[in-house]
Structure 1
Amino acid sequence: MNRRHFLASASAAMVLPRPSFASALPLTLKAQSVTQQILPEGEGTTAMLGFNGSTPGPELRLKRGAQASIKVENALQEGTAVHWHGIRLENRMDGVPVLTQDLINPGDSKTYSFVPPDAGTYWYHSHYISQEQVARGLMGPLIVEDDMPVDVDHDVTVILSDWILNQDGSLVDEFTDMHSVAHAGYMGNFARAFLSRDEVRQGDRVRLRLINAATNRIFPLMLSGVSGSVVALDGMALSQPRDLSDLVLAPAQRADLIVDITGPVGFDMQTGQGGYRLAELRVSGENSERKPGPLPKLTAPNLPAPGSPAQHLTLTMMGGAMGGHHGGANIWSFNDVSDLPPDPFATIERGETVRITLANDTAFPHGIHLHGHHFYEVAADGSLGDLRDTTLLAARESRDVLCVFDNPGRWLIHCHMLSHAIGGMRTWVEVT
């Protein structure tokens, strides 16, 4: 689609379904076929998959430290499973077929029960043929609320995604096209942001929760009409707020912002040809009661501090177009092994600190996601950097991470460019 058509998506904000709160237990998510208005109003609709009649699915609001119970009903014609991305939960609730559970077959259901230990911004999505089911719409936001509400006027969730669409709005089924899998992955010709509200006031203080739910697209973002800071990444509060510039989200990454509204808010994806408008947040009226002041701080993460590493592992990303020879049997591999091996990449005693060198020996970027844990990115000077559950590595880039593996079970590690995952970039560790 041409640039004019792409920019037309900003004409109206797509408002997310109303939140579902954990007080109404159990919550229910029904995976089913849906018809969604992805293109601007007045243009064609799109046949997709979704939860509870829409995509994205409803925003789930959970209490930190409180038992959550979520029943997933499968009304599809194929199996599915749901992963609660970024939540440090019990292994058998992680939602990964083969490693942690059986498929939820058509007509069946499964109830996931867990206690979220960390407040923050997370999301849920299919983890079965996810390069297709997520692209078709099986995903939604999951918010673990702060113990003490943050002093803002509005809390707004923003979900980013993209699709390959025909002019009539129908979805192009190229989820496993081998050319895409070997290159940057399934990349849409149309993108937009879904917002949980479409209007604020001048002078409001707003928490923006940004979630990249695209299967492969990296979103370099620029916001207009706001002043403020990044206050959390991947659900984990930053020790110091960070400038809004250079805001880049790989697939599955999240960022929390606290901003003051200075005008209509534009969400733009930066490209070599300029900015593409993904959504707008309208301004109506003025907040005369909100006085300027320092941004509130979020509660610091309560994770164990890393000790001396008991192991130093290297995980090398290999393969793909222009990637050279590798020993894996698929398009991509980790350490010359494609797809889930029968034995773990590493066996780790519970509580051990492990240093992992992530080496991208390919011509494309990769967003590496570790299930069930967060890890520290190690800065160039050796100091501890950000806490993440997904780290973005540019082509030919390497980065060390430090992780305290305190959550027992079999945990998946994979590229969250989901085309690369289905192309072989998957492995696992066992924490005993």
Structure 2
Amino acid sequence: MQVRDLSRRVFLEKVGAASLAAAASVLPGRAIAAAPETLEARPGTARLAPKEYQPTPIWGYDGGVPGPTIRVNQGARVDRRFLNSLPQPSTVHWHGVRIDNAMDGVPELTQAAVAPQATFDYAFAAPDAGTYWYHPHNRTWEQLARGLYGALIVEERDAPDVDRDEILLIDDWRLTEKAEIAENLGAMHDWSHGGRIGNWITVNGDGFWTSTARRNERLRLRLVNVANARIFSLSLAGLDGWVVALDGQPLETPQRAGRMVLAPAQRVDLIVDVTGETEASIVSHERNGSYAVATFKLEESSAARRPEPAAPLSPNPVTPIGPLNTARRADLLMEGGAMGGMMGAMMGGRSMDMRGLVQQGKVWAFNGRADMSDQPLVSAALGETVRIRIENRTGWPHAMHLHGHHFRKVLEDGTLGAWRDTTLMQPEESFEIAFVADNPGNWLLHCHMVEHSASGMMTWIRVS
């Protein structure tokens, strides 16, 4: 495993080489409502690169990267007045929360985009304990790449037995040799290939995230992939533990933590014991080698190791999936992208060839459409079980995210996989997901490689 050098030379090697590649809350019984806390999106700076460099200009919630961590108890309300101090419209999407539809933050589907210097009041209950996050949903491909994200943690009523709880938001940035964000945002090469892949990885906005720990200490680690498009392959060194939740939803039986693949927007909760002698780390496995993205320097401890395994977390009140043989069915065909062979698609009510689509910034299609249809993919009655068969007829992986719900993959033997809100599809792969349409409203279904979403990979479902 390579250890990161803090030197200017190593930074230039990593960055320079890669750069060359392509409503207010009203309290009962009160005459006057208290104003909600403000969450402001504004320009700021962050020290992403080694200390020899100037801080990087970013956009951040409250001016920082990451934005403030929001912690509430399960069932409590989140109330934030979003103030947009950016030079372009924005919204806030509360990723993974089974939220009121009007609070979901999707322009033109659930709300109008918030204009510069305007505000919008987000107020909703958080029904499920777990690890969630928030980010913009307007020009996401730019605003997320500039640093707009933060963690939303919903605490269990019965907290697990751990010594410490660490949130690790893992991102990649495309930086220039001056440690500035590369301004080739919206590059069609990125949009038609794997999305905007960065060249500098940070954890919680720090390229060299380090903390301390004690041997035999038990930690809860909440890993969140906040990158535009990078898929992280992670493992543990000097840490031994269990996966206890995926995308905020507890596993019925904790699983031994081995190699963990996190697509954009996915989360994994771990409970781990510190077993290393001098340090412990989270290791990212890349094509050019493996290296620690987060390191714990170990202090001496006489504490005895806890018995294993970690106990399951308390389940969330997600509606169980009904009979699959009577479920409402739909098909979603994914086409396009570089080397995909798509010749054209419908857009704006007419057929366009690929040249015309590219001129409109579109290179992908769902069911032969490169724009959002005025008709939903699925129109389901409240409480109805839905099955969607998704076929990835492209040469690229895609992280499919359903808003307002959690779903389960239908496995080949007819059983169901873990609850998720985002699933990774490999090239030429197909499978079904199933969920109960128990949250009324219009809900987005899209690829969370956000450049893919912007360039054609968006559709929606209606629950009524």
When normalised by structure 1's length, the TM-score is 0.92
Tell whether the 8 Å contact from 1:33 to 1:50 is kept in structure 2 after alignment: yes
Map residues 154-169 of structure 1 onto 2, 5 A cutoff.
154-169=164-179
Map residues 224-235 of structure 1 onto 2, 5 A cutoff.
224-235=237-248
* Deviations, residues 250-280 of structure 1 (Å, cap 9, x unaligned): 0000000000011222222112332033221
- The Cα shift of 1:150 comes to 1.4
Q: Residue 341 of structure 2 aligns to which amino acid in structure 1?
A: G
Tell whether the 8 Å contact from 1:376 to 1:402 is kept in structure 2 after alignment: yes
Aligned to 2:220: 207
Q: How many percent identity over aligned positions?
A: 42
Aligned to 2:419: 387
Structure 1 portions without partners, runs of 5+ = 10-23
Tell whether the 8 Å contact from 2:4 to 2:291 is kept in structure 1 after alignment: no
SS of the aligned residue for 1:286 comes to: coil
Tell whether the 8 Å contact from 1:6 to 1:191 is kept in structure 2 after alignment: no
SS of the aligned residue for 1:54 comes to: coil
**In 1, distance between residues paired with 2:149 and 2:137?**
10
2:323 matched to 1:313? no
Aligned to 1:101: 111
Tell whether the 8 Å contact from 1:25 to 1:69 is kept in structure 2 after alignment: no
2:317 matched to 1:279? no
Aligned to 2:91: 81
- The Cα shift of 1:190 comes to 1.1
Q: Residue 68 of structure 1 aligns to which amino acid in structure 2?
A: V
Aligned to 2:81: 71
Aligned to 1:16: none
Aligned to 1:324: 341
**In 1, distance between residues paired with 2:333 and 2:55?**
42
Say if 1:287 and 1:46 are closer, same or farther in 2 by CA, change over 3 A. Answer: farther
The runs of 4+ residues in structure 1 deviating greater than 3 Å are 2-9, 289-294
2:232 matched to 1:219? yes
Structure 2 portions without partners, runs of 5+ = 12-33, 347-356
Aligned to 2:284: 269
Query: Based on CA coordinates, which of the two structures has the bigger radius of gyration?
Result: 2
* Deviations, residues 12-49 of structure 1 (Å, cap 9, x unaligned): xxxxxxxxxxxx98332110001101112333321110
Q: Residue 320 of structure 1 aligns to which amino acid in structure 2?
A: G
**In 2, distance between residues paired with 1:322 and 1:416?**
20
Q: Residue 328 of structure 2 aligns to which amino acid in structure 1?
A: Q
* Deviations, residues 217-261 of structure 1 (Å, cap 9, x unaligned): 000001211001111000000011112113000000000000001
**In 2, distance between residues paired with 1:425 and 1:64?**
33
**In 2, distance between residues paired with 1:3 and 1:260?**
22
* Deviations, residues 289-327 of structure 1 (Å, cap 9, x unaligned): 664343122011321111134311111111000111242
**In 1, distance between residues paired with 2:182 and 2:6?**
16
1:136 to 105, 125, 146: 146
Aligned to 1:410: 442
- The Cα shift of 1:429 comes to 0.8
- The Cα shift of 1:287 comes to 5.2
Aligned to 2:433: 401
2:368 to 336, 340, 350: 336
**In 1, distance between residues paired with 2:372 and 2:310?**
44
**In 1, distance between residues paired with 2:302 and 2:139?**
46
- The Cα shift of 1:423 comes to 1.0
**In 1, distance between residues paired with 2:246 and 2:4?**
32
- The Cα shift of 1:151 comes to 0.7
Aligned to 1:299: 314
Count of aligned pairs between the two proteins: 417
Aligned to 1:12: none
Aligned to 1:176: 186
Tell whether the 8 Å contact from 1:45 to 1:168 is kept in structure 2 after alignment: no
Aligned to 1:359: 391
